[in-house]
Structure 1
Amino acid sequence: MSSQTKFKKDKEIIAEYEAQIKEIRTQLVEQFKCLEQQSESRLQLLQDLQEFFRRKAEIELEYSRSLEKLAERFSSKIRSSREHQFKKDQYLLSPVNCWYLVLHQTRRESRDHATLNDIFMNNVIVRLSQISEDVIRLFKKSKEIGLQMHEELLKVTNELYTVMKTYHMYHAESISAESKLKEAEKQEEKQFNKAGELSMNLLRHAEDRPQRRSSVKKIEKMKEKRQAKYSENKLKCTKARNDYLLNLAATNAAISKYYIHDVSDLIDCCDLGFHASLARTFRTYLSAEYNLETSRHEGLDVIENAVDNLDSRSDKHTVMDMCNQVFCPPLKFEFQPHMGDEVCQVSAQQPVQTELLMRYHQLQSRLATLKIENEEVRKTLDATMQTLQDMLTVEDFDVSDAFQHSRSTESVKSAASETYMSKINIAKRRANQQETEMFYFTKFKEYVNGSNLITKLQAKHDLLKQTLGEGERAECGTTRIRGKLYRL
């Protein structure tokens, strides 16, 4: 009863493992749901903004036409009355001059509001539409990489499950072989205890001597077989336990890296250019409004302050804080000893020491190569990100030139469209941006894959380094003790 309460059964260990895996799977699913909801909320926001600016543009155009009609009505009245005026009346009185200036200002406001309509329809709304396309495209690409990350995590957990089962199987066989060996040793001991009694009867029963010798040889032969079987199973168990502990370290390292680094990087991919593009759109709107009417600065400062506070990092932390339960790293996998196995470290004693040493050197060599390669990929990734940032933060939102009144209304509209959102410039900028994005995602995928592999191999390398160092010290100590005993 004590052994049953002390040691976990295989079913209990597997049930705990499956429960932990289920929790991780649930977190991974919820992460995508959270990111998808974030994208949907952005799309809804962009849709509302487009509808708002479309309606505002219509209102601005209606207002512009109304102002033009109003100014034309009184201007035509003035022109018709001039025919009855004397030449001396060309020296206008100050009130009349003010009246003319009011009409001129009305025409100017009409042109300004028409320009505002053009900017909203052909600049701001177009930008918002492009951002919506970017949100969908970037989320799709990020999800593809995220799914690959999830598959990699589940793969390493499945590998951990396999090596754990293998370790349990070999450990059970080792326990069974040890039990059989002890049974054979007990039989041999009983046989030796009977030797004294049998020796007294040998002289009286000489004819039974060959049969007793045969029985002794059978017991010795059985003991030798069981000893060999036990040694073989113990070696298999040691190797299986080593593999289990190495995979355990690699799995915990991979999961920790994903939750601490990869999730943050994945959110950055979803946010790539969103805040910068939205900031440029709002700044286009702000520039138009500020140039239209400087007296409205007080109200627009509130919006500008909000635009100035557009920050991808801050939003990312907010999302992660809101969904803290699905983004926080899970508990590390702990070593699950099987049936009282007290060994919970990688064994570096012979006969597995040579194999582990060779494995350690192979890992060391491969890690050196992988780190150099991954560092080059990282440098390329940083340079590509800087290029993207330069593209996305270009200051093209100032529309002050559109409010110059030295040209006609038609020329102002044409300049506003050609300068800021011409089809040639749009196509060129969009092509360059998407090409750079594609290259960035390719390098990001390569970097994540490389860093994942380095993390797992580094965990195994560090554990082997620690184990082999302790093993060498233990072996050297044993050698010195044996040498002293030999001299004595």
Structure 2
Amino acid sequence: MSTPSRFKKDKEIVAEYESQVKEIRAQLVEQQKCLEQQTEMRVQLLQDLQDFFRKKAEIETEYSRNLEKLAERFMAKTRSTKDHQQYKKDQNLLSPVNCWYLLLNQVRRESKDHATLSDIYLNNVIMRFMQISEDSTRMFKKSKEIAFQLHEDLMKVLNELYTVMKTYHMYHAESISAESKLKEAEKQEEKQIGRSGDPVFHIRLEERHQRRSSVKKIEKMKEKRQAKYSENKLKSIKARNEYLLTLEATNASVFKYYIHDLSDLIDCCDLGYHASLNRALRTYLSAEYNLETSRHEGLDIIENAVDNLEPRSDKQRFMEMYPAAFCPPMKFEFQSHMGDEVCQVSAQQPVQAELMLRYQQLQSRLATLKIENEEVKKTTEATLQTIQDMVTIEDYDVSECFQHSRSTESVKSTVSETYLSKPSIAKRRANQQETEQFYFMKLREYLEGSNLITKLQAKHDLLQRTLGEGHRAEYMTTRPPNVPPKPQKHRKSRPRSQYNAKLFNGDLETFVKDSGQIIPLIVESCIRFINLYGLQHQGIFRVSGSQVEVNDIKNSFERGENPLADDQSNHDINSVAGVLKLYFRGLENPLFPKERFNDLISCIRIDNLYERALHIRKLLLTLPRSVLIVMRYLFAFLNHLSQYSDENMMDPYNLAICFGPTLMPVPEIQDQVSCQAHVNEIVKTIIIHHETIFPDAKELDGPVYEKCMAGDDYCDSPYSEHGTLEEVDQDAGTEPHTSEDGMTRFQTL
């Protein structure tokens, strides 16, 4: 390589090195800027947190003051009342007044708690953020000093590499130059030797002597150049070795700085930041959680007082508070006139016959009045129960209003769906007021009747005592004869000894085939009993019955008997319902076969309920005829039962919760929690849309469930008329009784 080319190459190498070093310098500067920027962002974040909690503390303080003013305002109104004096004396208050005092105490408690919360924010949480900010700034300064030292050390290493590289290039260039001169000397020597080999007889002696002298000079020059080359070659090798060693060390230093030292520097800047911030925010969480705990403790006290809102005990306390007003007065004594000493009814002749006739008339009149008044009492009690059901409906859960999401819905849009804004509130209020009016009318009628009975009974008893035992007539208060419901014709069940299939814990298909009972007697009989006596029974299938009675009924069916065949409701309705559930729960193969479980669950994906019902119908039509008939019978009954949900509190969803695990158990390999919710939804769909899902009697020959199982005299329900599936769905969320229906039901009761 020529000298100009070599110089050009050296310049390119140096330029490349300087460019790389320049890039590293820029990176180091940028790193420092990033660390500084991160510290500034942290300080700003901590400042924002301080401002936030300072403002929140102000709000909590203001809120605390307002709560205290609110409590004081209403407490001042009650201090002079008799209730307050009673509260100070023995704290034996009427339950509503007790709730009121507890509400005021809860407001005071919340006032103190929020004042405490404000103090914690100001004197604890904010101070922590200030300390973290100071620590972060100090840590950055310390880390910055270390970073400068590391940068200087790194630049020294890079400068050392540059020096060694230049030395290597210099010695290598001198080695190449010495080698070139040596080769030139060797060429001159070869040329001179070639001349010495020519014939000497033509050369003069003097010229021959000159040639020998020239050869010697060339040899000496070659030796010098050889020595110089060897020296430069050795220096070049040593310089190259030193360069390679320094290069390796430099790369290792740079790698260590970027991979390890930088991470350590960032850790130095972060030292204690996250842990301190964790402690500060946990102080906030602890304060808030303790605020909630204190609040819940106070609310639990109020909830306990609400649970103890008891009219009977309040009535007793109220009367005890005003004994002079409610204490019965002294009996009126007979005030004789002008010395008349007789103070009892005289039964001597001739008034004895008149008294006897009057006694008999009173006896007859009392019998009639008591029967009439007993009927009025029953109607009054039934009406009162209806009112209590209306006013105790559990419509107070507003948890949906507090379900937070990332959407931008306003609170107002959520609250608009609450109880007070529902269109049915006006109808409910009107229905309640009309029922109350009917109740007070009947109550007045009952009280007037009972007052009359009391007066007549007193006269009757006095006459009875006067006339003596010999003239006492037999008297019994009888109830009006009940018209027995028209019994439904039952098919006779043959004894269990005539067939071998197991009833409980057996197979439904096998039992139907062996017994000849298209609908197992236990299913038909239990459903008929509930139809007659339990459609309006609150909590049917949800409330457990007597285990002893359940076992007795079960054993009777096992023996081939029908313990529910008579038309008397001498069995507990919950026990009968328990027997029906026990039968289906114990089937060897569930009513919904396990092999159809996944197919049925997949129907949940169909959002359109009508299409879902059609898909379920398609799946169920593949089941055996005997199973399908029992399904149709059962779900028609459950649909009928759900139509009385306002009385029995068992709408299709609640019934599905009770029957889902029984009819369609979740396989063990499936997720029990998530699958059970899907099972309940499937069963609910079948209950609501049973007419769409199951074929009618024309398509599937077999017994069909009848809503009226006791004849026309029994069917006085507003649901007795068969309606379409759409009508049932539309009326599902409305009040079931119009005013006229309600009056008819009360009069029937």
Quickly name the TM-score band, shorter chain normalised.
0.5 to 0.7
SS in 2 for 1:287: helix
Partner of 2:61: 61
Q: CA deviation at 1:100?
A: 1.3
SS in 2 for 1:293: helix
Native 8 Å contact 1:71 1:107 kept in 2: yes
Which piece of structure 1 moves more, 275-284 or 208-217? 208-217
1:174 aligns with 2:175: yes
Partner of 2:264: 265
Native 8 Å contact 2:186 2:222 kept in 1: yes
Native 8 Å contact 1:153 1:255 kept in 2: yes
Q: Deviations over 1:181-232 (max 9, x none)?
A: 1111111111101102273444xx2233443333222211111111111111
Which piece of structure 1 moves more, 207-216 or 51-60? 207-216
Partner of 1:316: none
State the distance in 2 between where 1:154 and 1:76 align. Answer: 80
Partner of 2:424: none
Q: Deviations over 1:140-195 (max 9, x none)?
A: 11121122222222211111111000000000111111111111111111110110
Partner of 1:120: 121
Q: Which has the larger radius of gyration?
A: 2
Superposed counterparts of 1:204-353, under 5 Å: 205-294=204-293
Output the amino acid matched with 1:179: S
State the distance in 2 between where 1:89 and 1:130 align. Answer: 52
State the distance in 2 between where 1:55 and 1:195 align. Answer: 110
Q: CA deviation at 1:262?
A: 1.6
Q: Deviations over 1:91-114 (max 9, x none)?
A: 422222222111111111111011
Output the amino acid matched with 1:170: Y
Q: CA deviation at 1:5?
A: 8.6
State the distance in 2 between where 1:268 and 1:107 align. Answer: 48
State the distance in 1 between where 2:39 and 2:118 align. Answer: 29
Native 8 Å contact 2:71 2:104 kept in 1: yes
Per the alignment, do residues 214 and 198 of structure 1 end up closer, same or farther by CA in structure 2, a change over 3 Å counting?
farther
State the distance in 2 between where 1:250 and 1:171 align. Answer: 21
Per the alignment, do residues 244 and 300 of structure 1 end up closer, same or farther by CA in structure 2, a change over 3 Å counting?
farther
TM (normalized to structure 2)?
A: 0.38
State the distance in 1 between where 2:91 and 2:248 align. Answer: 96
Native 8 Å contact 1:170 1:240 kept in 2: yes
1:148 aligns with 2:120: no
Per the alignment, do residues 139 and 85 of structure 1 end up closer, same or farther by CA in structure 2, a change over 3 Å counting?
closer
Q: Percent identity?
A: 75
State the distance in 1 between where 2:91 and 2:245 align. Answer: 100
Output the amino acid matched with 2:272: G
State the distance in 1 between where 2:273 and 2:89 align. Answer: 64
| Structure 2, unpaired ranges of 5+ | 297-399, 406-749
Which piece of structure 1 moves more, 210-219 or 139-148? 210-219
| Structure 1, unpaired ranges of 5+ | 303-488
Output the amino acid matched with 2:176: I
Superposed counterparts of 1:125-140, under 5 Å: 125-140=126-141
Per the alignment, do residues 88 and 263 of structure 1 end up closer, same or farther by CA in structure 2, a change over 3 Å counting?
closer
Native 8 Å contact 1:286 1:300 kept in 2: no
SS in 2 for 1:199: coil
Native 8 Å contact 1:177 1:233 kept in 2: yes
Structure with more helix by fraction: 1
Per the alignment, do residues 192 and 181 of structure 1 end up closer, same or farther by CA in structure 2, a change over 3 Å counting?
same
Q: CA deviation at 1:75?
A: 2.3
State the distance in 2 between where 1:89 and 1:123 align. Answer: 42
Output the amino acid matched with 2:284: Y
Partner of 1:341: none
Per the alignment, do residues 88 and 276 of structure 1 end up closer, same or farther by CA in structure 2, a change over 3 Å counting?
closer
Native 8 Å contact 2:83 2:93 kept in 1: no
Which piece of structure 1 moves more, 113-122 or 99-108? 99-108
Q: Deviations over 1:60-103 (max 9, x none)?
A: 11111111122222223322445996899974222222221111
State the distance in 2 between where 1:278 and 1:84 align. Answer: 49
Higher relative contact order (CA 8 A, sep 6+): 1
Q: Deviations over 1:275-305 (max 9, x none)?
A: 1111111111011111112589x99999xxx
State the distance in 2 between where 1:100 and 1:198 align. Answer: 145
Q: Deviations over 1:426-452 (max 9, x none)?
A: xxxxxxxxxxxxxxxxxxxxxxxxxxx
Partner of 2:12: 12
Per the alignment, do residues 3 and 179 of structure 1 end up closer, same or farther by CA in structure 2, a change over 3 Å counting?
closer
Per the alignment, do residues 301 and 45 of structure 1 end up closer, same or farther by CA in structure 2, a change over 3 Å counting?
farther
Note the aligned Cα RMSD (angstroms): 3.1
TM (normalized to structure 1)?
A: 0.57
State the distance in 1 between where 2:5 and 2:177 align. Answer: 20
State the distance in 1 between where 2:90 and 2:232 align. Answer: 121
Which piece of structure 1 moves more, 226-235 or 26-35? 26-35
State the distance in 1 between where 2:215 and 2:2 align. Answer: 37
Native 8 Å contact 2:79 2:85 kept in 1: no
Q: CA deviation at 1:253?
A: 1.0
Native 8 Å contact 1:112 1:292 kept in 2: yes
Output the amino acid matched with 2:54: R
Native 8 Å contact 1:170 1:236 kept in 2: yes
State the distance in 2 between where 1:207 and 1:84 align. Answer: 154
Output the amino acid matched with 1:52: F
